[in-house]
């Protein structure tokens, strides 16, 4: 299937590691030109080099903290300076901390909103006028299966990602006539540093090793294992393509069958 992604210009946020990195690599393999960002410059540069070496894609790497709007502006203007346009935006960020309601201060709540919701608003605000002008665009937000079935002990994620889902649905309707689609991908348990960190926290509480906790996190998934980042990236690449032109306003889980709900 020709995804018609050759020379498309993509910003993939929070993409030096994990899901963001896998999506950036997946888009580069299809011929897209990239802007990637993350906070740690050395890790980001290393990822940019690896993607260039494997795919020969153009990769612009801009160190940025997506919870800072000035940094988001820096990423978008850097991409526009280099490529003069933006076709695809993948909104991604680190995950908020683990805990229940009484564990967090109001400041913690503010930070979670800034990291996962406000970053999506700020990136989309900068990029949508460009996409509207092009009469084409793809926005893909990385959320969580928590929007389908809230996860105990992840109250910040459960709450803030629901906001992203509402935003995406509204944007999908407002911009559909400009051939701009807006969709969410909901990871279940995918093997990245984030899931290893969650497994370590669970292991500490249950008095076992992180490896044992990871194994048990895989065993109650119908597919019987934790997912691979590239399994999620495949959906992102498809949603970014012309082939996904009639799919908008959706939240699609990539979870090996974990979520029990019908919708």
Residues 28, 66, 128, 244: which binds ligand NAP (CB under 6 A)? 66
Residues 55, 67, 184, 241: which binds ligand NAP (CB under 6 A)? 67
Whether the Cβ atoms of residue 240 and residue 140 lie closer than 8 Å to each other: yes
Q: Which stretch binds ligand NAP (CB under 6 A): 17-25, 167-175, 176-184, 213-221?
A: 17-25
Residue 90 found at the interface with ligand NAP (CB under 6 A)? no
Rounded to a whole number of angstroms, the minimum distance from the CB of residue 168 to ligand NAP is 15
Residue 96 burial by CB count (10 A; 0-12/13-18/19+): exposed, middle or buried?
buried
Residue 39 found at the interface with ligand NAP (CB under 6 A)? yes
Residue 228 found at the interface with ligand NAP (CB under 6 A)? no
Rounded to a whole number of angstroms, the minimum distance from the CB of residue 96 to ligand NAP is 7
Indicate the DSSP class of residue 208: S
Alpha helices in the chain (DSSP H): 18-29, 41-55, 69-83, 106-112, 119-134, 155-175, 193-206, 210-219, 229-239
Q: Which stretch binds ligand NAP (CB under 6 A): 35-43, 50-58, 83-91, 241-249?
A: 35-43
Given the complex with ligand NAP, which of 123 and 175 has the nearer CB atom? 123
Whole-angstrom distance, CA of residue 213 vs CA of residue 215: 5
Distance of CA 183 to the CA centre of its chain: 11
- Strand, helix or coil at 247? coil
Q: Under rule CB under 6 A, which residues in 176-215 are in contact with ligand NAP?
A: 187, 189-190, 192-195
Whole-angstrom distance, CA of residue 229 vs CA of residue 218: 14
Given the complex with ligand NAP, which of 19 and 48 has the nearer CB atom? 19
Calculate helix-pair angle for 229-239, 18-29, nearest 10 degrees.
50
- Strand, helix or coil at 200? helix
Rounded to a whole number of angstroms, the minimum distance from the CB of residue 165 to ligand NAP is 13
Helices (H) and strands (E) in the chain, counts: 9, 7
Instruction: Give the containing element (helix H, strand E) for 222.
Output: none
Rounded to a whole number of angstroms, the minimum distance from the CB of residue 51 to ligand NAP is 13
Given the complex with ligand NAP, which of 65 and 230 has the nearer CB atom? 65
Residue 73 found at the interface with ligand NAP (CB under 6 A)? no
Binding-site size, ligand NAP (CB under 6 A): 30
Residue 148 found at the interface with ligand NAP (CB under 6 A)? no
| Interface with ligand NAP (CB under 6 A) | 14-20, 37-40, 43, 64-67, 92-95, 115, 142, 144, 187, 189-190, 192-195
């Amino acid at each position: 299937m020709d995804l018609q992604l050759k020379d498309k210009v993509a910003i993939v946020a929070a993409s030096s590691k994990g899901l963001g990195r896998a999506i950036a690599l997946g888009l580069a393999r299809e011929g897209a030109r990239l802007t990637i960002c993350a906070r740690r410059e050395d890790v980001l540069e290393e990822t940019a080099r690896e993607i260039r070496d494997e795919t020969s894609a153009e990769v612009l790497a801009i160190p940025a903290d997506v919870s800072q709007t000035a940094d988001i502006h820096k990423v978008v203007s850097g991409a526009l300076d280099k490529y003069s346009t933006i076709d695809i935006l993948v909104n991604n960020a680190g995950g908020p901390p683990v805990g229940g309601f009484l564990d967090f201060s109001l400041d913690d709540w503010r930070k979670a909103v800034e990291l996962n919701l406000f970053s999506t608003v700020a990136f989309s605000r900068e990029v949508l006028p460009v996409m509207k002008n092009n009469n084409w665009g793809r926005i893909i937000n990385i959320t969580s299966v928590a929007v389908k079935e809230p996860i105990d002990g992840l109250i910040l994620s459960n709450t803030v990602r629901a906001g992203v889902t509402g935003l995406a649905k509204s944007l999908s309707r407002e911009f559909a006539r400009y051939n701009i689609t807006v969709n969410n991908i909901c990871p279940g348990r995918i093997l990245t540093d984030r899931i290893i960190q969650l497994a370590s926290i669970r292991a500490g509480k249950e008095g076992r090793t992180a490896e044992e906790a990871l194994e048990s996190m895989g065993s109650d998934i119908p597919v019987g294992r934790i997912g691979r980042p590239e399994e999620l990236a495949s959906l992102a690449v498809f949603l970014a393509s012309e082939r996904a032109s009639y799919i908008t306003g959706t939240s699609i889980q990539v979870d090996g069958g974990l979520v029990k709900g019908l919708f």
